[in-house]
Structure 1
Amino acid sequence: MTQVKMNRRAFLAGSAMAAVSAVGLASCAPSAKSAKTKEASAEVQRVSLDPQAESVDVVVVGAGISGLAACVQASENGQSVIVLEKGGAAGGNGMGTEGIFAVGSTLQKEQGIEISASEIVHTELSESQWRSSGSLWYDLVSKSADNFAWLQKQGMQFSGVVDNYHVGLYNTMHWWKDNAGAVGYVPPMQAAAEANGVEFRFNSPATQLIEEDGKIVGVVVDGKDGEYQIQAKAIILASGGIGANPEYLKETGWTQEKVDEMMIVCSPNVAGDGYRMASEMGAKSFLSDAAIQSFQGVTAFGNDETVPYNSPLNGGNGLVALGPALWVDQDANRFCDESIAVVYNMAANACACLGNKENYAIFDQAFVNGLGLDEHDQAILDKATAGEYPESVFSANSIEELGSHFGLDTAQLAQTVARYNELASAGFDADLGKDASFLAPIQTPPFYIAKIVNNIVVVDGGITTNIRCEALDEELNPIPGLYAVGLDGAMLWRNVYTQNMPGTAVGNQVNTGRNAANAARDYIASL
């Protein structure tokens, strides 16, 4: 059995979640107060604007990566800005980010890194089967060097390292100081905003938009001292998407069963508030096309919470996604190159399981021995296989027993494992093409089966938007005064977050935040 080693990429997957965990946001359960579905939203009683309500040019809903970029840009544009943040501090899921995308930055030039913008755009479009918009990709790429310079001007702190994140096609990743947005981005960006006169109101969720004569003119706030209104000429939604909302997750394609059993790695505040409020105003949903960033997980193993967060049992993707384990579906058939989480796309590998009713990982004692688990993780595994979580993990001395435990076709499972062992012995995956370095026969008892569940991080997209980040109605016309940025309005990816160009998620958040602020400036000037 080949010793399985955690590469840097697998470590990064764990450290990204660890950074979120460090601020008390990891492994959160879905909010018990799930937002209303679109059907229910249609029944929401519209609110009239209180003419005595305080007035401001721009309200930004959310103080994560995109919200901070939006409020700083809007304040630079001369607008008065209030930021409404549901949580008690700025940052949100952005605390766990590691860096930002750029092409043509000063750091790249200093290091002799030359990349053609057309290569980036054409590659992304071709790999997405031309379903994504080239205009949006070109907008991001062409503005990325200026965005980087703008961040430096605001006081953002970078480590100086520029690379391909050990997985991407190009050296576009510019790492934050200490490789964490919690250090390099959030504190200096909040300071820059406050220096420009931006007012932050924490523990103050926006609950409803106010519309008059077809325009968005204000927002209702659930404040510390009760409900109140703010008049605004423009509202920028930057609430972080729908990742912790079980009702909206179903609209992305998950079944109810998968939603019920999934583990969630995100801020509990990411409950689709922006999506719900925009839907109430008639915004077109993008959820059926949204890109899901989700790892595989095993309920019984949980998430690694021990520094340095790279346990081969449950760090990052965990043992089921390290490569050698065999994946089977509800019919006991193999369906995927099981190494994709390590060598291709750790942020979207769970999407390979999306079309299956059930997903399982099969492995043996030789694989477990090769992991070199410490006492803590070995205790977790022992507890799981001792019957503590029979619906999640099971161990037996025969493959047939594994299948029988989860109601799989035992004969088919035995055949699938036998075929996999043939491929491993030959050192060539003639069926699905997995690299030989990840092929290892499953032949040393006891044997294990673990039910794979989704360990969801974020969902890219919810509200349909255009290049100016204007929220669009069902006819793809802008809703005056309403903008959606970051994960609320991400449109670069459709269904799959490719991660070919490292840092593009954060790059998109900063770029859309600035785009929305500038579009709002022009809109306000036209009033």
Structure 2
Amino acid sequence: MDNKETSLNRRTFVKGAGLVGLSALASCAFAGCAPESEGKAGSSEEATGQSGEIETTKNTHDLIGLADSDIDLGDIEASETRDVDVVVVGSGMAGMSATLAAAEAGMSVICLEKRSALGGTSAAAEGMFGLRSQYQLDQGYDENVDEYFKMNVEYHHWCNEPRITRRFFNTAGSHVDWAMDHGMKVRALSSAWSVVPSWHVYDGKGKAVIETFANAAQEAGAEILTETPAVQLLADENGVTGVMARSKDGNAIQINAKAVIMAAGGYPCNREMIETYTGSRFYEGEDPMQRDNSYFGTEGRVGDGILMGQSIGADLFRIGAVMADFSAIGGTRMDEENVCRNVLLVAPVLIVNERAKRFTNEGLINDFTAWGESMTTQARNYNICDYDFVVRQSEGVIADCSGVAVKGTPYPDAVKEIDEYIEAGDLSIWKADTIEELAEKMGLDPATLKDTVDHYNEMCEAGYDADFCKEEEYLIPVKTAPFYGVETHPMYMTTVGGLRIDERARVLDEPGNIIKGLYAAGSDAGGLYGYSYDVKVACGSQQNFCVASARWAVEDIMENVIGSGDGHHSAATDMVMS
């Protein structure tokens, strides 16, 4: 299958003496007709002489999601100019790993973070995948990397990028080792939802790791600027030459650099990109029933890194791939702890669509990606249960639900608290004495919902789900009034498709040429995933990929941009291929 996910063909023209946009150049201007080791960005002296102004064509201004982003493709007059080796855009696990690695390698580096706090959604991450890390080996697990690689590419039907995937699995353990050598604390090794224990659970979540990396990076000489977003990518005929950023006081800063690493966290908060690339509705707005519940995690992940890359001709890879999560109840976010979420939502109860028809195996509760993806197949989703189930859940939830609801946890006041939420009317939850009345309150066809419930109850009584093969233990009938209905909305933790990269994290244009000096890491980089996150194969793989792609980028910058490496690039040996 062709990996070029979009027909967008963006052309950018950089103003200034003799400067032209990257996508307007001949192929050898990108890839360099010279060997890769000679593919260096322009010198700092050349970069200093830039005007920093980019003029774009109408097509560039029509980039999908541009209006919902924080980038600015207009003329910008800089009030300050800085010169460094590397600019890192974003301070999540990818951005902070890149900043630390670059600083330790002796490069001058500035990390730009648009928010006041560091870490992005990585601050809430719980752990990192890794095969054959020293920690895993010490626990007695010596896993076959080849088998894991095969499981992964087969899971993705070989539509993830095989060279990137192979290097990732061959080196995943070394990235855990690197992170632990730099202060990451691990409190446990868990199989979580994967095949064997390979999920290294953080002590203190990702926030503690980010803070540790940030302190180490600053001690090594890195500069971290918060509330200072990158708003424009600068380039000349030799490649990327830096970024334009806006300081806390609103002034423009031109940062000339030999390389730029995009690590801005993907686009889960960008309405137009989500609805265009994933085909899902984006729930956000004034209506309390649709409040801010399309994405889990921090605000501001609006595709800045991806769009800046596209503005100079970068290609996209599996741009619609997401890390789907459990749904959210209308009126809440998934990460809002409340009894309604843990008792009514993340539970293996009957689920129907907008036509009051059942459509899935509700036993997917232990695979949040599968659950989330399943919910996106319908226009609307509704959970249906009865009073007996709520009472049963109040005594101790009946199933582990991917770490959200823990089996056995009691909610003794569940019935009373749910009634209070219903009376307040702030959430999409309804209660009725008959199924038909419940359907009317929910806007569903009463007769159809009654038929669906009756058929489902018959299968529960028989002990076999002839429709969608749900496990017998989760065949929970809906018989005892009052009955409860919940409208739910699909959610994402993050997006996992992005700029097309190679196995050295170098960003490529649409013909497949290297855009010199431009790198992407973490959720801004496409390649490791097909069309969804692989939690059942490699739980925590995105956190490891953040570290891996960041380190790959820094290594290539050392070897092929700065020229300060040892002349040996590890990409080939990492992959055991040329």
User: After superposition, what is the alpha-carbon deviation per residue over 1:17-43, rounded to whole angstroms, capped at 9, x for unaligned?
Assistant: xxxxxxxxxxxxxxxxxx976158599
Aligned AA (1:209): L
Q: Tell me if structure 1 keeps the 8 A contact 2:86–2:107.
A: yes
Amino acid at match of 1:139: R
User: Cα deviation per residue 1:363-413 (whole Å; 9 max; x = unaligned)?
Assistant: 1111111121747765552134337148x2222122122223333232222
Q: Report whether the alignment pairs 1:247 with 2:283.
A: no
Which residue matches 2:556? 519
Matches of 1:40 and 1:407, distance apart in 2:
32
1:163 maps to which residue? 190
State the one-letter code of the partner of 2:443. G
Query: In structure 1, what is the Cα distance between the partners aligned to 2:377 and 2:283?
Result: 11
Letter of the structure 1 residue corresponding to residue 549 of structure 2: T
Change (3 A) 1:395 1:41: closer
Change (3 A) 1:138 1:156: same
| 1:104-183 matched pairs, under 5 angstroms | 104-159=132-187, 161-165=188-192, 167-178=193-204, 180-183=205-208
Unaligned runs of 5+ in 2: 1-59, 395-409, 565-578
Match of 1:197 in 2: 221
Distance 2:347 2:358 in 1: 16
- Corresponding position of 1:319: 344
Shift, 1:61, TM fit: 0.5
1:306-337 alpha-carbon deviations (Å, 9 max, x no partner): xxx5x55324xx622311x1111122221111
Q: What is the CA–CA distance in structure 1 between the aligned matches of 2:554 and 2:271, rounded to whole Å? A: 30
Could you tell me how far 1:437 is from its partner in structure 2? 1.0
**C-alpha distance in 2 between matches for 1:123 and 1:330:** 35
Query: Match of 2:363, as an amino acid?
Result: S
1:96 is aligned to 2:88: no
Q: Distance in 1 between matches of 2:353 and 2:184?
A: 46
Q: How does 1:349-364 map to 2 (within 5 A)?
A: 349-364=371-386
CA distance in 2, matches of 1:271, 1:39: 11
Give the RMSD, CA atoms, in angstroms.
2.7
User: Matched residues in 2 for 1:138 and 1:519: separation?
Assistant: 18
CA distance in 2, matches of 1:371, 1:487: 36
SS in 1 for 2:261: strand
The secondary structure found in structure 1 opposite 2:479 is: coil
Q: Is the 8 A contact 1:403 1:410 kept in 2?
A: yes
Query: Which residue in the other structure is 1:381 paired with?
Result: 418
Higher mean displacement: 355-364 or 452-461:
452-461
Alpha-carbon deviation of 1:84?
0.7
Are the counterparts in 2 of residues 361 and 451 from structure 1 also a CA contact under 8 Å? yes
Q: Using a 3 Å threshold, how does the CA distance of structure 1 residues 469 and 47 change in structure 2: closer, same or farther?
A: farther
Q: For residues 58-69 of structure 1, what are the structure 2 equivalents within 5 Å?
A: 58-69=86-97
| Offset, 1:62 | 0.7
| Kept after mapping to 1: 8 A contact 2:297/2:493 | yes
Over 3 Å counting, the alpha-carbon distance change for 1:46 and 1:212 in structure 2 is farther
Deviation at 1:50, TM superposition (A): 7.1
**One-letter code of the match for 1:126?**
E
By how many angstroms is 1:433 displaced? 1.0
Per the alignment, residue 524 of structure 2 pairs with 488
Matched, 1:467 2:503: yes
Runs of 4+ that moved beyond 6 A: 48-52
Q: Does the 8 Å CA contact 1:170/1:502 hold for their aligned counterparts?
A: no
| Shift of residue 502, structure 1, vs aligned partner | 2.0
Note closer, same or farther for the CA distance 1:158–1:407 as it changes in structure 2 (3 Å cut).
Answer: closer
169-178 or 63-72, larger mean C-alpha shift:
169-178
Aligned 1:160-309 pairs, distance under 5 A: 161-165=188-192, 167-178=193-204, 180-183=205-208, 185-213=209-237, 215-225=239-249, 226-256=251-281, 258=283, 261=290, 263=293, 264-286=295-317, 288-300=319-331, 303=334, 305=336, 309=337
Aligned residue for 1:493, secondary structure, equals: coil
Within the alignment, does 1:395 sit opposite 2:419 as a pair?
A: no
Paired residues of 1:58 and 1:234 also in contact (CA < 8 A): yes
Pair 1:188–1:458, CA change in 2 (3 A):
same
- For the residue of structure 1 that corresponds to 2:201, the secondary structure is strand
Q: CA deviation at 1:492?
A: 1.4
2:441 is aligned, of 398, 402, 405, to 405
SS at match of 1:207: strand
Cα distance per residue 1:316-362 (max 9 Å; x no partner):
xx622311x11111222211111212x3x124522102121111111
Q: How many residue pairs are counted as aligned between the two chains? A: 479
Q: Which amino acid aligns with 1:38?
A: L
The CA distance in 1 between the partners of 2:320 and 2:154, in whole Å, is 17
Match of 1:503 in 2: 540
Residues 136, 88 of structure 1: alpha-carbon distance in 2 compared, 3 angstrom cutoff: same
TM alignment of 1:44-83, pairs within 5 A: 45=73, 53-83=81-111
CA contact (8 A) 2:99 2:222 kept: yes
Alpha carbons 2:318, 2:526 under 8 Å: kept = no
1:423 is matched by which residue type in structure 2?
A: M
1:435 is aligned to 2:462: no
User: Against the structure 1 CA distance between its residues 442 and 134, is the aligned structure 2 distance closer, same or farther, given a 3 Å change threshold?
Assistant: same
Q: Is the Cα contact below 8 Å between 1:283 and 1:474 reproduced in 2?
A: yes
Unaligned runs of 5+ in 1: 1-34
Counterpart amino acid of 2:164?
L
1:75 positional shift: 2.0
Residues 81-103 of structure 1: CA distance to partner in whole angstroms, max 9, x if unpaired?
Answer: 11111122321111111221111
Q: Distance in 2 between matches of 1:113 and 1:57?
A: 40
* DSSP 3-state at the match of 1:251: helix
Paired with 1:268 and 1:506, the residues of 2 have a C-alpha distance of 19
Decide whether aligned partners of structure 1 residues 49 and 143 sit closer, same or farther in structure 2, where only a CA change above 3 A counts.
farther
- Decide whether aligned partners of structure 1 residues 292 and 111 sit closer, same or farther in structure 2, where only a CA change above 3 A counts: closer
Q: Structure 1 residues 241 and 257 mapped into 2: Cα distance closer, same or farther (>3 Å)?
A: closer
What amino acid maps onto 1:176 in structure 2?
Y
Inter-partner Cα distance in structure 2 for 1:237 and 1:186: 17
Contact 1:37 1:247 in 2 (8 A): no
> Is contact 1:460–1:487 with CA below 8 Å preserved after alignment?
yes
Question: 1:101–1:173: 8 Å Cα contact kept in structure 2?
Answer: yes
Question: Matched residues in 1 for 2:462 and 2:265: separation?
Answer: 47
Which residue identity is paired with 1:112? G
Shift of 1:55: 0.8
For the 8 Å contact 1:36–1:276, the answer to whether it is kept is no
User: Matched residues in 2 for 1:374 and 1:52: separation?
Assistant: 57
Task: Kindly indicate whether residue 490 of structure 2 is the aligned counterpart of residue 454 of structure 1.
Answer: yes
* Aligned residue identity for 2:382: Y
| 1:9 counterpart residue number | none
Larger Rg: 2
TM-score normalised to structure 2 length: 0.77
